[in-house]
């Protein structure tokens, strides 16, 4: 067990919620004053419980990976996130400055587990959020049959990369995952050990981009959660470019290039700005048909 001091107005739910790359991630359970995170550490499966008590965060861990998780409990909880100088940068735009003050307790967590976040990130490629979540839940039910350590019911471990790498692509079809994403999952699973050895977010991005099927969007999603990369911007996202353009200029639509121009003054914290816009629930106006729902489960 560890007791960790937290900053004023610390937002446990918002911080841990940022680790979920798919809404309703079964490896996480997040509440206002308590959060749970289950993963596979270098020492084995483990579950981290974080409980907020006044100005202290109490970390308790379970399973063979308990010691590893306790050692980096402060990182998972976003307490290693360096926000120095961000408030001054935020003054460049009235909205960003207001959100930085309103969400001053929000931090970016860093789990230190790359493959854990690669699975939902790959499943989220070019599909709707519902498709991604349904496929993720079905995949975990199939590959993560062992319960997560600890007393929290319903919590699931991420899949073992060896099991994913060994599975033929057609195993994934009943989960609604077509061959393209299944093959990408199998490739990153085969590279998992090498990817986990990356010491920095920049090194991880470089290695991730050498894997066929992994682009800048997936790399940014993964490094933000695994390394707490506050500068990671999800270029290629269906919505974020529009949200940034709308929030910062009032334009209903944007491009990736324009988004990066607008975020350039916040270098080092560009992903943090995107996170603040998401925390505030800002969305761009919706026009035209939504992305269609598809199912590959019967193919």
User: Domain ranges in the chain?
Assistant: 2-81, 114-227
Confidence bin at 299 (pLDDT 50/70/90) = very low
CA distances from 147 to 64, 68, 119, 164 (A): 13, 19, 18, 18
pLDDT band at 267 (very low <50, low <70, confident <90, very high): very high
Q: Residue 245: how many CB atoms within 10 A of its CB? A: 20
Confidence at 294, pLDDT banded by 50, 70, 90: low
In sequence order, what are the beta bridge partners of 3? 58
Kindly tell me if the per-residue pLDDT of 269 is higher than 90: yes
Same fold for the domain at 2-81 and the one at 114-227?
A: no
User: Is residue 288 predicted with pLDDT exceeding 80?
Assistant: no
Per-residue pLDDT at 284 exceeds 80: yes
Report the percent of the chain where pLDDT is more than 70.
96
Is the pLDDT at 238 greater than 70? The verdict is yes
> Using one digit for the tens of pLDDT, what is the confidence trace for 183-220?
999 999 999 999 999 999 999 999 999 999 999 999 99
Instruction: State yes or no: pLDDT of 250 exceeds 60.
Output: yes
Which single residue is written with the structure tokens 């999952």?
185
The pLDDT-based confidence of 292 (bands split at 50, 70, 90) is low
pLDDT for residue 291 is more than 60:
no
Lowest mean pLDDT among 94-98, 128-132, 260-264: 128-132
**Residue 53: per-residue pLDDT:** 92
pLDDT (0 to 100) of residue 126: 84
pLDDT for residue 110: 98
Nearest Cα to 240, choosing from 221, 223, 267?
221
pLDDT per residue as tens digits for the range 75-98: 999 999 999 999 999 999 999 999
114-227: CATH homologous superfamily? Hypothetical protein; domain 2 (1.10.340.30)
Give me the pLDDT at residue 146, please: 85
Q: How far is CA 292 from CA 21, 127, 227, in A?
A: 20, 8, 33
- In this structure, is the dihedral angle defined by the CA atoms of residues 251, 253, 258 and 261, taken in order, positive or negative? positive
| pTM of the predicted structure, to 2 decimals | 0.92
Across 267-272, average pLDDT? 97
* Token pair in block for residue 109: 């967590």
Residue range 216-227: average pLDDT?
97
The average confidence (pLDDT) of the chain is 94
Percentage, residues of the chain above pLDDT 90: 92
Q: Which of the following CATH numbers is that of domain 2-81: 3.10.20.30, 3.30.300.180, 3.30.310.20, 3.40.190.10?
A: 3.30.310.20
How do residues 100-127 score in pLDDT, each as one tens digit?
A: 999 999 999 999 999 999 999 999 998 8
pLDDT greater than 80 at residue 177: yes
């Amino acid at each position: 067990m560890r007791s960790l001091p937290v900053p004023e107005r610390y937002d446990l739910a918002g911080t841990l919620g940022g680790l979920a790359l798919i809404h309703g991630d079964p490896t996480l359970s997040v509440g206002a004053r308590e959060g749970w995170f289950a993963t596979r550490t270098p020492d084995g499966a483990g579950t981290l419980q974080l409980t907020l008590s006044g100005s202290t965060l109490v970390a308790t861990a379970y399973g063979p990976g308990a010691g590893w998780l306790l050692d980096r409990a402060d990182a998972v909880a976003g307490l290693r996130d360096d926000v120095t100088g961000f408030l001054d940068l935020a003054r460049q735009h009235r909205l960003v400055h207001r959100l930085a003050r309103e969400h001053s307790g929000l931090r970016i967590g860093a789990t230190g587990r790359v493959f854990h976040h690669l699975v939902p990130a790959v499943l989220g490629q070019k599909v709707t959020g519902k498709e991604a979540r349904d496929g993720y839940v079905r995949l975990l039910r199939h590959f993560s049959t062992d319960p997560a350590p600890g007393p929290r019911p319903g919590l699931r471990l991420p899949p073992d990369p060896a099991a994913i790498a060994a599975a033929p692509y057609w195993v994934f079809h009943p989960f609604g995952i077509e061959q393209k994403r299944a093959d990408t999952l199998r490739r990153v699973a085969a590279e998992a050990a090498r990817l986990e050895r990356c010491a920095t977010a920049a090194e991880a991005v470089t290695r991730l981009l050498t894997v066929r099927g992994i682009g800048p969007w997936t790399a940014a999603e993964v490094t933000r959660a695994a390394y707490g990369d506050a500068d990671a911007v999800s270029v290629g996202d269906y919505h974020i470019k529009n949200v940034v353009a709308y929030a910062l200029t009032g334009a209903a639509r944007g491009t990736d290039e324009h988004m990066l121009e607008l975020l350039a003054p916040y270098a080092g914290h560009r992903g943090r700005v995107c996170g603040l816009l998401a925390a505030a629930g800002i969305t761009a106006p919706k026009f035209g048909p939504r992305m269609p729902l598809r199912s590959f489960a019967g193919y």
